């Protein structure tokens, strides 16, 4: 894949969860908001990149990724019960932001940011699921390459800057999960498309 590294893609797609033979719509890009990425930068899933790598502008595609190729299997070890005091602001529990189903950024001891979904809140604990929301899912993509070209040095520098948090996406490359707000991020496919 190295010979085709740093290729820019703008892609339109519809994503379905096809686990257990069902077809459930997960997300769909819009005409004014395609999924943009540069290969080899860790923005899109590696298996997704491999499927579209040889396609050209105007080519259509349809493929399915297994959970292993996509976001891995669910791991119950990633469901944690954390002390409620961790989620305090000024000595008071942050009930404004910490609610069931909220997706929260959490920082590990070494400073790495993870996102977790709140499953339950008790008097003393907050139960958080650190699995990717699409973990354990078989994902089917159907779409079209809107544009592709060899990425320019400027495009690569822009993406590197955005993925490091300097471009308004808080460094969400690889796992936005809806946490980018309205700053031009397309968090679909677990990636960060900060093109605005």
Instruction: Kindly indicate the confidence band of residue 184, based on its pLDDT and cuts at 50, 70 and 90.
Output: very low
Cα distance between residue 117 and residue 102, in whole Å? 6
The two tokens of residue 8 are: 């820019």
Whose CA is closest to 62, among 11, 24, 119?
11
Q: pLDDT tens, 56-84?
A: 999 999 999 999 999 999 999 999 999 99
Q: Looking at residue 3, what is its pLDDT?
A: 52
Taking residues 137-161, what's their average pLDDT? 92
**DSSP character for 16?**
E
Q: Are 122 and 132 in contact (CB under 8 A)?
A: no
Average pLDDT score over residue span 28-43? 91
Q: Greater confidence, 25 or 177?
A: 25
Task: With residue 24 as reference, give the H or E element that holds it.
Answer: strand 24-28
Instruction: Give the residue-averaged pLDDT of 32-55.
Output: 93
Question: For residue 66, what is the DSSP state?
Answer: -
Q: Quote the percentage of the chain above a pLDDT of 70.
A: 82
pLDDT at position 5 is 77
Higher pLDDT, 163 or 10: 10
Q: What pLDDT band is residue 42 in, cutting at 50, 70 and 90?
A: confident
Range 105-132 burial, b when 16+ CB lie within 10 A, else e: eeeeeeeeeebbbbeebeeeebbbbebb
Comparing CA positions, the residue from 50, 43, 63, 17 lying closest to residue 187 is: 43
Over residues 113-147, the pLDDT tens digits come to 888 999 999 999 999 999 998 999 999 999 999 99
Does residue 177 have a pLDDT over 80? no
Average pLDDT, the chain: 82
CA dist., res. 172 & res. 16, Å (int) = 23
Residue with tokens 């070209």: 149
By the 8 A CB rule, do 60 and 144 touch? yes
pLDDT confidence bin for 166, thresholds 50/70/90: low
Neighbouring residues of 54: CB distance < 8 A, sequence distance ≥ 6: 4
By percentage, how much of the chain surpasses pLDDT 90?
56
**pLDDT bucket at 160, cuts 50 / 70 / 90:** confident
Give CA–CA dist 88/158, Å, rounded. Answer: 35
Torsion angles phi and psi, residue 192, rounded to 5: -125, 115
The full 3-state SS of 133-151, as one line of letters, equals CCCCCCEEEEEEEEEEEEC
Of the candidate ranges 44-48, 143-147, 187-191, the one whose mean pLDDT is the lowest? 187-191
Query: What are the two backbone dihedrals, phi and then psi, of residue 133, each rounded to the nearest 5 degrees?
Result: -55, -25
């Amino acid at each position: 894949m190295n010979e085709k590294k740093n290729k820019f893609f703008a892609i339109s797609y519809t994503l379905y969860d096809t686990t257990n033979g069902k077809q459930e719509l997960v997300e769909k890009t819009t005409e004014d908001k395609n999924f943009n990425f540069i290969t080899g930068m860790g923005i899109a899933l590696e298996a997704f990149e491999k499927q579209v790598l040889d396609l050209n502008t105007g080519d259509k595609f349809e493929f399915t990724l297994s959970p292993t190729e996509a976001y891995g299997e669910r791991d119950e070890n990633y469901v944690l019960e954390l002390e409620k005091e961790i989620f305090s602001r000024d000595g008071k529990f942050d009930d404004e932001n910490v609610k069931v189903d909220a997706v929260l950024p959490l920082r590990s001891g070494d400073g790495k940011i993870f996102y977790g979904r709140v499953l339950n809140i008790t008097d003393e604990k907050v139960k958080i699921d650190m699995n990717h929301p699409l973990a354990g899912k078989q994902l089917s993509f159907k779409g079209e390459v809107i544009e592709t070209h060899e990425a320019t040095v400027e495009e690569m520098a822009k993406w590197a800057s955005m993925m490091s948090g300097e471009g308004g996406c808080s460094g969400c490359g690889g796992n936005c999960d809806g946490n980018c707000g309205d700053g031009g991020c397309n968090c679909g496919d677990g990636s960060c498309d900060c093109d605005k």
